[in-house]
Amino acid sequence: MPAINLRALEKSRSLDCDAVIFDLEDSVAPENKGQARENLRAFFAGQPLKGKERIIRINSLSSAFGAADLDLVKALLPDAVLLPKADGPQDVTDIGDLLADANAPEELRIWAMIETPRGVLNVGAIAEAGCMPGARLDCLVVGLNDLRKETGVQPQPGRSFLVPWLMQVILAVKAYGLDALDSVFNDFRDDEGFDVECGQGRAMGFAGKMLIHPAQIAAANRHFGPSAEEIAEAQAIISAFADPAARGLNVINANGRMIERLHLVQAEALVHKARLISARKHAR
């Protein structure tokens, strides 16, 4: 949501999404940065978005606007600050140190955008550094628009030339216990193309997708949220391992299917995710 757009800010209250990123960076012209910050200050005063994660994307700390943006983050205490164009681990540790120096609560987390060639090359080191004590990193967000611009890769259905880079991000977050969000799909009128790309992102292992328009929310929820069938299967696996007969066993037979305790861990995570989504919906 562009923080300069008051109508968009108000609209965010009613949207069926899990998180809202309030943007002070690319969607706000330089001459409007100050007003965008004031808009957010007034919006947060009303304790908005119960049940949703609130993230503020700041300008780079090396820019003329980054310091003022970070001061606003320290004052408003959103759930996370989104760092654009993270090129290396130092970008994440620097902002973590600044938050620590300001005695920001540990609950204020860091998200980082991977949207440059250096960011992709260093994504493993970024994820590792972000997991050090006090580093606060929770999530990496892929930004393909900037990555395409800097590499010359053309936008094509299937993203074939980008898949290796996307999977590098997935490997990094899985290695260090983080989440990753897939990039935006620019044409919000292309429902079929968006549906295909959501399916691809889910199959790759992304936890969710960045959206640029409310019309994309329902499809993203359908793809990245657990279905009723998946929840039922997960509950059946949990019940099977809860049976006293399964005590001490790492592999059991459930309805003709051999399942391991690793499937139990996956099932418990899926049911937990479903409960979080349900709680968010009831908080609206």
> What is the 3-state secondary structure of 234-283?
HHHHHHHHHCHHHCCCCEEEECCEEEEHHHHHHHHHHHHHHHHHHHHHHH
Pairing label, strands 251-254, 19-23? unpaired
The single residue listed with the structure tokens 């391991």 is 260
Distance (Å, whole) CA 87 – CA 270: 32
Flag whether 247 is marked binding.
no
Q: Would the annotation count 38 as a binding residue?
A: no
115 is in an annotated binding site: yes
Residue bearing tokens 């120096």: 101
Where on the phi/psi map is residue 109: left (φ > 0), alpha (ψ -120 to 50), or beta? beta
Q: How many CA atoms lie within 13 A of 84 on its CB side?
A: 23
Binding-site residues for Mg(2+): 115, 146
Binding-site residues for substrate: 57, 115
Binding-site residues: 57, 115, 146
